[in-house]
Structure 1
Amino acid sequence: MKVSRTLIVVGSLLLVLSIVLTFKWIEYNRAYHKAHTEPKNSTTKAIPLEKKTIERQVKNKKQVQNPLPKKAAKSVANQPKFKRKFTRKIPVIPLLDVLRARKQPSRGRSIFFHETTNFRRLEKSALVQLTARSACAIESAALHNPGLTVFVLFAGATHRPLSGDPLIKALHKYNNIRLRHLNLWRYAAGTPITKWLNSGKLFKSKFLFPHVSDLLRYVTLYKYGGLYLDLDVVVQQNLEKMPPNFTGAESNKSLACGVMKMSSAGLGHKIATMCLRDLEANYKGDKWGTNGPGVITRVAKKQCKTENVKAMINNSKGCNGFRVYDPNAFYAIPWLQWKDFFLPNRLNVTMRRVSKSPVVHVWNKFSKGWKLKTKDSCAYISLAKTHCPRSFAAAGPFF
């Protein structure tokens, strides 16, 4: 069957036309995709086409309703156009999880600090934020205890800057300092407090960060034993030869929990277990001290079989092996006199009072807002120069 010449020509034209239309359609889709897809280097989110159209309509409507005067319009038109600046991302490195790191805390041979400032119930990525005074506490512990490993456990921070933080650089000059992340639920799993933690009562607290810190210190001592220290201390001596189980009295009426040591087995493990059970039984979300110093005070009264704190002090036999140090050991300057650390006219008397203290507590709850220059003459600056020299040098003009 012969096909007419006209039919062949028409068919060819249709074929060419379909190819052209297909090519145009592909080019249109590419252009549309490029115009409405976020650039790889941009930190801003792409706005959907429908939303852009609505915004443009609203903008045009406003301009019609409230037109600019001619002079103002001309002035706006002549303004220079600035390029949008995008936030530069800081290179970071994830903190190792303390439970998954190759180097685990050695039971009874570690010093622990906890940082809970950035804690969130739903864990989010956050950078380590260390103050110069916190770095001083960590360094002083590492400096005077080279035979022990110092673990700084962050309950909120998950990453640290890859470089550039002078305080972290100063701490990394010590071979016995480890910065680690912990996930509260994984960390507390298998301890006597697990069921209570899962109940959510902790998160009804009016003082969440301090109460998470209160919980963690007892969980850590239960898991590993060893020495717990607050981040607002300065260590002045080697602590390795101190008794395996102790705490310190803040006054003749109550004990404190800013410096505690418990063995990983035996008596220390028993006391740590009692502390966790006491915290569960007596937890109060609207009381600042009930869940920290209140816990160790109540447990010590049971252990020592007395309500009299004076009777506990330096009486390890009466407390069946548990030592309670007098206030001069760790709290030589009471919290009511915290300003003595920062006042030039109290330098000499304060240094005399803390001269024999293995650990000096500087009451960060009250003193954190007090700005100090590194050139100031006061007890805290004097302590820092001696016991955390690298952190002091890295802090810059203020400490």
Structure 2
Amino acid sequence: MAVTRKRLALLVLCGSAVLVLYATTNDELMREMPIFQPLDMDVQCYKEPSAKGAFDNFDFRAEQARLSSGKNIFFHETSCFGRETNHQLEFNCRQACAVESAARANPGMSVNLLFLSPSAPSNRTRKLLDLLLRYDNVRVKRILVDDYIKESPLERWYEDGVLGTSRWPRSHMSDILRYLTLWRFGGVYLDLDVVIIKSRGCMARTPIENTQGKAKDMTVRRCNGFEVFPPPAFYPIFYKEWQRYFTEEKANETMHLIKQARAIHVWNKLSTSEVVHMGSRVPYALVAEKHCPRAYYGCGATF
């Protein structure tokens, strides 16, 4: 029996909640997952009212009509911004590159950048986001978590305060929100450390591995329009080799691998301190210059 998109999303959504519960109590698992970092406890801002100058709220009920086609791409920024940023929302050039590349590669899709912070953006961030908003298919809003999670399968889970028992509440909220958003609207979730190289309709970025040979049988014809790509389509460079994006050594080989991919993931948790100078010939700079030119050229001497 065919599984509808809504039912499939519900299964994934509930499965993600189970993963949160399991991971919360499993230190060994969490240490093995590079996406999780210490000091991931600041989520109080999720409940705070929006500051003056903050982004308009993302009213999921009012957005149903606009997003009903399912041709949507979503990015979530779940950080809270404290004293180190004067409580101003900060959004960097590489994050902007991810959004711009998605908008350019998918002009027929709605690209939604959703913040959880109530803070108003800094002047630098505002200018950067203004560059993104020049694309007709880009929207920037703020999610009010308490409201957004209502009328969903996770409403009771959230009200019971399970998230507050997590050692990594911000990372876990990020996981929950991505699945909840797709359950509500359909479409694609992307991280803010990817660059879209090319696209063909909707795409899922989670790699399909360990499928015992079955993934090759998941063709467009057999899966009602869905196509499963191998991991290199979205991860041409393994995370342990992330430095290849930031060095000219083996650059030709790296660019060849990138050319065959649909997107690249630059592993921001590992590469965030790597400086890319304007005009650099490292692979990441070459990709950014081509696929997110407004972000790349709008960031001054370094990207």
Query: Shared fold (TM-score greater than 0.5)?
Result: yes
Distance in 1 separating the partners of 2:251 and 2:56: 41
- Provide, for residues 278-336 of structure 1, a one-character-per-residue CA deviation record: whole Å limited to 9, x for no partner: xxxxxxxxxxxxxxxxxxxxxxxxxxxxxx35423552489855643201211111111
- The residue identity in structure 2 corresponding to 1:341 is Y
Tell me which of 231, 238, 262 is aligned to 1:358.
Answer: 262
1:137 aligns to 2:91 (yes or no): no
Compared with structure 1, are the counterparts of its residues 157 and 353 closer, same or farther at alpha carbon in structure 2 (3 Å cutoff)? farther
Query: Residues of 2 paired with 1:134 and 1:202: CA distance?
Result: 26
Partner of 2:229: 325
CA distance 1:382–1:162, shift in 2 (3 Å): closer
Q: Tell me if the contact between 1:153 and 1:181 (Cα under 8 Å) persists in the aligned partners.
A: yes
Q: Which residue of 2 aligns with 1:249?
A: 207
State the superposition RMSD in angstroms.
2.8
Q: Which amino acid aligns with 2:53?
A: I
Q: Mark the structure with the bigger radius of gyration.
A: 1
Are 1:119 and 1:209, in contact at CA under 8 Å, matched by a contact in 2?
no
Letter in 2 for 1:112: F
| 2:58 aligned residue | 98
Cα–Cα, structure 1 residues 350 and 157, in superposed 2: closer, same or farther, change >3 Å? farther
Partner of 2:73 in structure 1?
A: 111
- 1:165 deviates by 3.6
Corresponding residue SS for 1:352:
helix
Residue 259 of structure 1: aligned partner: none
Query: 1:371 is matched with which residue: 275, 282, 290?
Result: 275
CA distance in 2 between partners of 1:346 and 1:101 (Å)? 49
Q: In 1, are the aligned partners of 2:81 and 2:119 still within 8 Å (CA)?
A: no
2:148 to 181, 184, 187: 187
Which one-letter code corresponds to 1:249 in the other structure? P
- Structure 2 residue 156 is matched with structure 1 residue 198: no
- What secondary structure does 1:345 align onto? coil
Cα deviation, residue 153, structure 1: 0.5
CA distance in structure 2 between the aligned counterparts of 1:179 and 1:336, rounded to whole angstroms? 33
Q: Which has a greater percent of strand? A: 1
1:315 is aligned to 2:275: no
Change (3 A) 1:134 1:165: same
- Report the equivalent of 2:292: 388
What does residue range 272-291 of structure 1 map to in structure 2 within 5 Å?
A: none
TM-score of the superposed pair, with normalisation by structure 2: 0.73
Unaligned runs of at least 5 residues, structure 2: 1-50
Deviation, 1:383, is 0.5
Distance 2:56 2:205 in 1: 30
CA distance in 2, matches of 1:346, 1:210: 34
Decide which of 108, 113, 116 is 1:155's aligned counterpart. 116
Aligned-residue offset at 1:100? 6.6
Identity %: 31
Counterpart-to-counterpart distance in 2, 1:347 and 1:220:
37
The answer (yes or no) to whether the contact 2:55–2:142 under 8 Å persists in 1 is yes
**Number of aligned residue pairs:** 247
